[in-house]
Structure 1
Amino acid sequence: MRPEILRDDVDELFSFDYRDESAARSFAAQVLQPRRPAAVVSVTEDGLEPAALMSGILGTPAVPLAVVRAMRDKAKMRRVLLERAPHLSVPFAGPGDDKALERLFPSAYGVIAKPVSGTASSGILLVRSAEEAQALPARDQYLFEAFVPGAEFSVESFSVDGVHEIVAVAEKSTGGGFVETAHLMPPAALDGTARVQVEQATRELLDALELRDGPAHTELKVHDGTVRVIETHNRPGGDGIADLVALTTGIDWRRVSLGWPLGVRPTRGTGTAAAAANVFFTAPPGRVTAIADRPATLPGADLARWEVDVVVGGRVGELHSSGDRVGMATVTGPSSEACRRAVAELGPDTIVTTEDTVQ
């Protein structure tokens, strides 16, 4: 690792494969235990289980490993919901359950196939028949779920001793391959009644999974007055959602998510914007031929952030995951509707122009 990328406040750096359970156990016992850390925390998906594992060895405050695994393993989460809160779940088939898979078809909306421990919208597919599902490579690593129509939302929550505070709610947009293309906070598509339903469903989910402490990011869909859980994680949401929380509530969500084992709690302040949105740029696969300039102004909103991750002459691949997006912008405004209009005016699918070079 290059020294220049390390933060100034890093006193010691150790390198090991934290995804290897035996290596994590050894590191906790031989390296961490003599130093008596107050906490081991991760705010990234791959680090959640190792952090819980090492915390258990050290006796530091943490979400129990069994709870973390129930939240990360999408099939396990579905089984828990089926037992404890079936009204929040959807029909599903776990890996290798061919009989349950056949019962999912035919479906008016199709069936979602997702890796049981996937993140960043990677590897999610829509399949239309049991035969198509059974033909997938590595089929035994997929969870199959009945597709749920409706508007999608995400909830940032914080729990203390089993009491769940709703920190913020965002409205989510997705593009090809179910990749997330925008997050709007607060949501424009939720009226008061629906928001209460979403918040209550989140609390019921966290109770069912026995999450008692710390942050969580939960994704749900609302259709015809019914709320269904998509997935949940014991960490803050990605895609710059923490920035939206800070802008609209004044809560430093990253600091809270890192410091909660030490007693840091979400303290609402004065947000700098009534509403905010993160929007992600996409482009068809091919060679980049042009990139639009950052707009000087937006109607009814302000442009707080602008990033383009490609250059003219570079290549854009198929949109299979969040990592395939080509940039992002953050807009703020006096209302959610104002931010939504600004995002549409921005034309996030027109920022990067590509040319198909395949003959």
Structure 2
Amino acid sequence: MRLYLLALNPTDSVTEGFLPAAERLGIEVTVLTDQPNSYSGTEVLACDVRDFRAVVSRISGHHRPDGIFTNSDHLQVQAALAASYFGLPGKDWRAALRCKDKAEMRRWLGDGVWSAEISAPVALDAPYPCVLKPREGVASEDVVLVDGPEELAARSEEILVRRPGSVLVVEEYLPGELYTLETLGDGRVRHVLGGFHTEVSDPPGFVEERMTFVPAHPEPVLKQVLAQLDALGVGFGICHTEFVVHEGRARLIEVNYRAIGDQCDLLLARLLGVPLFEHVLQVHLGTALPAGLGARRDGAALVEYPCADRAGTLVAAPEAADLDVDGVHLTYRPLRQPGSTHPLYRTNRDYLGVLRATGTDQATVDRVSAEFLARQRWEIQP
């Protein structure tokens, strides 16, 4: 069977998750990408993947597709439209659009959250504090808390200089604890894989610094989140949903209609003990999910991201490591190499590395992870 995988820049989810899973399944993969020199080990075709018409044309002129898939936030609509064109299993392109467009998500949900769209610096009469963010942004890039009209105008001008022609969303700040929900469906059955409790940096930014696994959210919270996903039309393939809970009410922050990233999906597959990436690909090839995934339910885990706190050159950093300590499996992977120079982004591009820890007791997982990180050294010089 042949699967077309739409991609932009390489990610761990694709290179360590989906491509190895396809190889284990014996699936022939053709990568369509606008960065063909960034991929190797499989067939790669250059394509303007942001244009669904170019995707359809490139596939039509090549081998017959059995499935079309992407794990990119930016390409879900294109992949869905291409799958529909060829009569293949896929997401509803309208649902993919509602998830990608944060303003459209709010309008469609009608959840009472105040929001507005702006395309020029402006001082709005809004319920401050507000969150300012790109309408179609990802990874906390240019997401900032603003306290008043003057700050909104100043911050929006800064962002629009970096993102000319973009549309920004201003919406009321939603208080509460931040969580995620990870789901996998085939349009008929939907499995809840669990979620994470997310700890973010201090305002004004929202950099995700630590993710602690939550095996099961309280039933009333879960029902609220799933109802909102149903309203958006989300139910096919894997989905990563971010939401806050305040006084028992769950409200969506954003819906990423793909696998959770930053190596949390790699951790999730290990923690649950299921072929997660294989299941996702098989769904896009038309295979129904089993009634039960057989996932382990005794796991505890966290993912932690040491972050740069200043601009400069990284001159010292720990190497990759895999360790087993007191029943906890630790996987550390560097995300920057010594000698690299970066500004301070105040996004996840400030990550120096990622630590994944899995075990069966959360207190032990937390302790072992803290002890490991305390022994490491990162040094940044101006």
Task: Tell me by how many angstroms 1:291 deviates.
Answer: 2.7
**In the alignment, is residue 150 of structure 1 matched against residue 176 of structure 2?**
yes
Q: Which residue of 2 aligns with 1:104?
A: 126
Partner Cα distance (1:97, 1:2) in 2: 35
TM-score between the two structures when normalised by the length of structure 2: 0.77
Alpha-carbon offset, residue 53 of structure 1: 1.8
- Equivalent residue for 2:246? 223
1:27 counterpart (36, 46, 58): 58
In the TM superposition, what are the counterparts of 1:1-359 in structure 2 within 5 Å?
Answer: 5-7=39-41, 10=42, 12-31=43-62, 35-82=63-110, 86=111, 90-95=113-118, 102-105=124-127, 107=128, 110-135=129-154, 136-137=156-157, 138=160, 141-161=167-187, 163-175=189-201, 177-186=205-214, 195-261=218-284, 262-263=286-287, 265=289, 267-269=292-294, 271=296, 274-285=299-310, 286-292=312-318, 302-347=328-373, 351-355=377-381, 357=382
Partners in 1 of 2:224 and 2:259 — Cα distance?
Answer: 18
Select between 249-258 and 286-295 the one with higher mean Cα deviation: 286-295
Distance 2:253 2:375 in 1: 26
Distance 2:54 2:322 in 1: 51
- List per-residue Cα deviations over 1:280-304 (Å, max 9, x = no partner): 1112222334335779979756242
Q: Which has the higher strand share?
A: 2
Letter in 2 for 1:130: P
Equivalent AA in structure 2 for residue 119 of structure 1 = V
**How far 1:345 sits from its partner (Å)?**
3.7
Cα deviation code 1:310-337 (max 9, x no counterpart): 3444334313322221111111222223
Q: Are residues 258 and 293 of structure 1, via their aligned partners in 2, closer, same or farther at CA, if it must alter by over 3 Å?
A: closer
Q: Please say which of residues 338-347 and 246-255 is displaced more in the overlay.
A: 338-347
2:104 is paired with a residue whose SS is: helix
**Structure 2: how far apart are the matches of 1:233 and 1:279?**
20
User: Displacement, 1:174?
Assistant: 1.7
8 A Cα contact 1:104 1:111, kept in partner: yes
Rounded Cα–Cα distance in structure 1 between residues aligned with 2:334 and 2:145: 29
Seen in structure 2, the aligned counterparts of structure 1 residues 299 and 24 have a Cα distance that, compared at 3 Å, is closer
Give the whole-Å Cα distance in 1 for the aligned partners of 2:277 and 2:207: 23
Q: Cα distance, 1:264 vs. partner? A: 5.1
Indicate if the aligned counterparts of 1:301 and 1:331 stay in contact, CA closer than 8 A: no
Could you give the per-residue CA deviations for residues 58-109 of structure 1, whole angstroms, max 9, x where no partner exists?
Answer: 1111112111111110110010111xxx2xx63222335999x83423x3xx
| Shift of residue 200, structure 1, vs aligned partner | 1.1
Provide the rounded CA distance (Å) in 1 between the counterparts of 2:54 and 2:295: 44
- The change in CA–CA distance for 1:155 and 1:2 in structure 2 (over 3 A counts) is closer
Task: Pick closer, same or farther for the CA change 1:343–1:60 going to 2, 3 Å.
Answer: same
User: How far apart in 1 are the matches of 2:274 and 2:313?
Assistant: 41
Moved over 6 A (4+): 1-4, 293-299
Secondary structure in 1 matching 2:192 = strand
Deviates more, 1:270-279 or 1:177-186: 270-279
Instruction: Supply the distance in 2 between the matched residues of 1:29 and 1:73 (Cα, whole angstroms).
Output: 28
Amino acid of the structure 1 residue aligned with 2:55: A
Residue 349 of structure 1, CA deviation: 11
Tell me, what secondary structure is at the counterpart of 1:157? strand
Give, in angstroms, the shift of residue 46 of structure 1: 2.3
Conservation of the 8 A alpha-carbon contact between 1:90 and 1:145: yes
The number of equivalent residue pairs is 336
Equivalent AA in structure 2 for residue 22 of structure 1: R
* C-alpha contact 1:153 1:221 (8 A) present in aligned 2: yes
Q: In the aligned structure 2, how far is the partner of 1:221 from the partner of 1:349? A: 33
Using structure 1 for the length normalisation, give the TM-score: 0.82
| Aligned-residue CA RMSD (Å) | 3.1
Question: CA contact under 8 A between 2:321 and 2:333: conserved in structure 1?
Answer: no
The answer as to whether partners of 1:236 and 1:254 remain within 8 angstroms in 2 is: no
Q: 1 CA distance for matches of 2:78 and 2:166?
A: 24
When residues 157 and 148 of structure 1 are mapped into structure 2, their CA distance, relative to the original with a 3 A threshold, is same
The letter of the residue matching 1:231 is E
Is this contact kept in 2: 1:221–1:229, CA < 8 A? yes
In 2, Cα distance between the equivalents of 1:169 and 1:126? 25
CA contact (8 A) 1:275 1:332 kept: yes
Deviating more after overlay: 176-185 vs 55-64: 176-185
